[in-house]
Structure 1
Amino acid sequence: MIVRLDLTDPTTARSLLQVQTPSYLVEAELIGFHGIPALKDTVESLAQSGETFYGSFTGSELAGAAAYELDGDTMEITRLVVHPKFFRRGIGGSLIRFLLGLDLGVKGYRVSTGAKNGPAKQLYTNYGFTEAGELEVAPQVFLTLLERGAGR
């Protein structure tokens, strides 16, 4: 079940951190960079992020979450996290499908992930995203930028 998360509720924000932190630690190991900004998030920073969050629950447990921001008529997927104990169960894909299915009138989608994060790049590619470039965010640390149109 996927529901909108209210991160102004400290309990919900703490639950998200318990998913987000281990998820981003896995990515940090994959890309060889532990300076991922989301690893520094707090209950307060999540509540003030300005992002819209949705969570995927397995039973009553938060298993994964996704967030976005709108930039004109483009949805920027800002986060996609799944707790490692729920990897390979389709949760990431279900969250992407959910975001792509929101009726927000967007004309396109953008997302970025660590250039060395093969599993994430493959997941986005599976949903019609194509690589649009790379961005160096720290010495020898690159993000891959991916995009897709709304009509795919």
Structure 2
Amino acid sequence: MKIREVFQASYAVEAKLLNAEKNFPPLKRPLAGYIESDNSFYGYHEGVALAAVIEIKEADKLTHIQSLVVDPVFFRKGIASKLLSFLFENFDSEVFTVETGAANDPAIKLYERFDFVQVKKWMTEFGIEKVAFEKKSD
């Protein structure tokens, strides 16, 4: 499945950023984890290639970005920004939330550019420090 391939390629890079190559839970997600998910997946294509995917979980007036991944071949082309813009234009939520690794500077800078504010920081049971962000609708 193409979606899983993009997730695997992107998360391999993030695992290195977080020094978590040996135990990075997102890399262990089986294909069934995508197929059986109740979340919504939206892709961004460059030509015929699936370049990026955003995975969304909706609940009442809250939209959680479960994942936002870009194939490393397409890094630094503004694709993640385009997917976030798509999200804000198409989802009528009071609050948007997202989590990422505390050492994932590219993701943190992206979310801060879109006015997300850090609301929590913690150490996971896997030894990865994470941060949570939220953005309230204008």
Instruction: Decide which of 101, 118, 136 is 2:89's aligned counterpart.
Output: 101
Partner of 1:115 in structure 2? 102
Q: Which runs of 5+ in 1 are unaligned?
A: 1-13
Task: Please report how far the alpha carbon of residue 139 of structure 1 lies from its aligned counterpart in structure 2 after TM superposition.
Answer: 5.5
**For the residues of structure 2 that align with 1:31 and 1:37, how far apart are their CA atoms?**
12
The correspondence of residues 79-94 of structure 1 with structure 2, limited to 5 A, is 79-94=67-82
Task: Please report how far the alpha carbon of residue 112 of structure 1 lies from its aligned counterpart in structure 2 after TM superposition.
Answer: 0.3
Task: Please report how far the alpha carbon of residue 150 of structure 1 lies from its aligned counterpart in structure 2 after TM superposition.
Answer: 1.2
Task: String of CA shifts for 1:60-115, please: whole Å, max 9, x gaps.
Answer: 11000001101321100000000001000011110111111114x31010000000
Task: Please report how far the alpha carbon of residue 17 of structure 1 lies from its aligned counterpart in structure 2 after TM superposition.
Answer: 1.4
Instruction: Decide which of 42, 60, 66 is 1:54's aligned counterpart.
Output: 42
Counting matched residue pairs gives 137
- Opposite residue 15 of structure 1, the aligned amino acid is K
Name the SS of the counterpart of 2:97 in structure 1: strand
Q: Which runs of 5+ in 2 are unaligned?
A: none
Instruction: Decide which of 23, 27, 30 is 1:39's aligned counterpart.
Output: 27
**For the residues of structure 2 that align with 1:114 and 1:106, how far apart are their CA atoms?**
24
- Opposite residue 25 of structure 1, the aligned amino acid is A
**TM-score, L = length of structure 1:** 0.85
Is 1:136 the counterpart of 2:123 in the alignment?
Answer: yes
Name the SS of the counterpart of 2:2 in structure 1: helix
- Opposite residue 47 of structure 1, the aligned amino acid is I
Instruction: Decide which of 31, 54, 60 is 1:72's aligned counterpart.
Output: 60
